[in-house]
Amino acid sequence: MVLAQLRPDFPDVTISKIRFLESEGLVRPARTASGYRQFTPSDVDRLRYVLSAQRDRYLPLKVIKEQLDAADQAPAKALRAVDLSPAAGHRVTREDLLARAGIDAGLLADLEQHGLIRAGAGGFYDHEAVQIASTARAMAEHGLQARHLRPFRAAADREVGLVEQAVANAHRRRDREDVVRELAALSVTLHTLLVKVGLRDVAGRPVSPR
């Protein structure tokens, strides 16, 4: 049963949640003649990816769906294994990044110019670069261009600096890793809550007549 496979990593997942994700087009299980859903290993991988992206990266469903759609359409042989795994560390070529994120070379150049994406050794990109590019494309649909996103980069760098200060006195590597993980989760939570509170005020303001 699909719940039994997912609950060790996602204890709060329910049938209702899975059916909602299905209704949003994020997973498409086959049906038997009598109407029962049949989840393949690939379907379970998709669900793991969606649930991880929501829980760990706070990505909206729209962005997650775009990433999955890009993975389905891209011809690269290893694409499915890379894109449907929540693990970071995969090396992505420039062409793969453009295809998976659904952006053009101009937007990628802008994102690099403003420091939101950086190529690593050998000109390869990591898994997070694909997600950043996909998110930037979704934000561009609302009029926010790469130059508008620089404050996000600056805020992230400041948060990283604070974490570096906090772990500076840790003597053992394992201690540092534990502190970094905990502070990373706490900083993402705090950042998300502060933005949420601020946007609630924005949403409540009266619309200015044009």
Residue 131 confidence (pLDDT): 86
* Tens digit of each residue's pLDDT (9 = 90 or more) over 105-140: 999 999 999 999 999 878 899 888 988 999 999 999
Alpha-carbon span 174 to 164, nearest angstrom: 15
Q: What is the CATH number of domain 1-58?
A: 1.10.1660.10
Q: Which sequence spans correspond to the domains of the chain? A: 1-58, 63-147
Q: By the 8 A CB rule, do 62 and 54 touch?
A: no
Q: What percent of the chain has pLDDT over 70?
A: 86
Residue 103 confidence (pLDDT): 93
Residue 88 confidence (pLDDT): 42
Check the CA dihedral 47-52-54-60 and report its sign.
Answer: negative
Q: What 8-state DSSP symbol labels residue 37? A: E
Global pTM reads 0.55
* Tens digit of each residue's pLDDT (9 = 90 or more) over 62-106: 888 887 877 666 544 333 333 334 444 467 899 989 988 889 999
Instruction: Give the type of residue at 184.
Output: A
